[in-house]
Structure 1
Amino acid sequence: ITNIIFICKDLGNLMRTMGYMPTEMELIELSQNINMNLGGRVDFEDFVELMTPKLLDETAGMIGLKELKDAFKEFDLDGDGAITSDEMKHAMVKLLGKHTSKNEIDAVVKEADNNGDGTVDFEEFVKMMSQK
């Protein structure tokens, strides 16, 4: 129990730093998940994986689904539900006036592309936006 309380305190501090206000019950559930599934230790990648659903909920709640969909449409130029590297490059120029190298754009798409199809779908887009 001491270990769980220690993890709860640390997790709570990290989460509050990110602007997320966890309940005590959420912290206990996260700590139990960490102890059972992650051997009691959390590295940065584990923490991001644990927090992504919560941040998605927070982001969707703050920004709103309509705003996220509108933003996605600005990137998805052909409206097929997926953002390619070329579309990402065009959107960066259009929206930010920023010319970015193909390698940089490819790296962004690859990092956001969780399912490995070479494009960024809406769910991946939301995750990408919540990490910035």
Structure 2
Amino acid sequence: MADIEQARATFDRFDADGDGQVTPDEFKHAMAEMGDPYVTGPMAEAVIKAKDTDHDGTMSFDEFWQALQG
């Protein structure tokens, strides 16, 4: 998914409130809506933490895009 427009559309599915940041709770809910209801709170927190390079507890689009590049 190296296409930035496709990445933005995917990120926007996770960013429920449209504030430009994906919280663990938003991640968990988006995964459930996309057919994976087994993502738990701790799992969502671990995913966000792994991509959260500025350590603010959320994942920005830039962090999401960077994770896709690596």
- TM band (smaller chain): 0.7 to 0.9
* Structure in which a larger fraction of residues adopt helix: 1
Aligned residues of 2:7 and 2:65 also touching (Cα < 8 A): yes
| TM superposition shift of 1:96 | 2.9
Aligned residues: 70
**Greater relative contact order: 1 or 2 (C-alpha under 8 angstroms, separation 6 or more)?**
2
| Aligned partner of 1:96 among 35, 39, 60 | 35
Q: Whose radius of gyration is greater, 1 or 2? A: 1
| TM superposition shift of 1:81 | 0.3
3-state SS, counterpart of residue 22 of structure 2: coil
CA RMSD, aligned part only? Answer: 1.5
* Unmatched runs of 5 consecutive residues or more in structure 2: none
Alignment match, 1:128: 67
Alignment TM-score, normalising by the size of structure 2: 0.87
3-state SS, counterpart of residue 97 of structure 1: coil
Aligned residues of 2:4 and 2:65 also touching (Cα < 8 A): no
CA distance in structure 2 between the partners assigned to 1:103 and 1:69 by the alignment: 25
Alignment match, 1:118: 57
Alignment TM-score, normalising by the size of structure 1: 0.49
Aligned residues of 2:22 and 2:58 also touching (Cα < 8 A): yes
| Aligned partner of 1:86 among 2, 15, 25 | 25
* Unmatched runs of 5 consecutive residues or more in structure 1: 1-58
Deviant stretches of 4+, over 4 Å = none
CA distance in structure 2 between the partners assigned to 1:99 and 1:107 by the alignment: 14
* Structure in which a larger fraction of residues adopt strand: 2
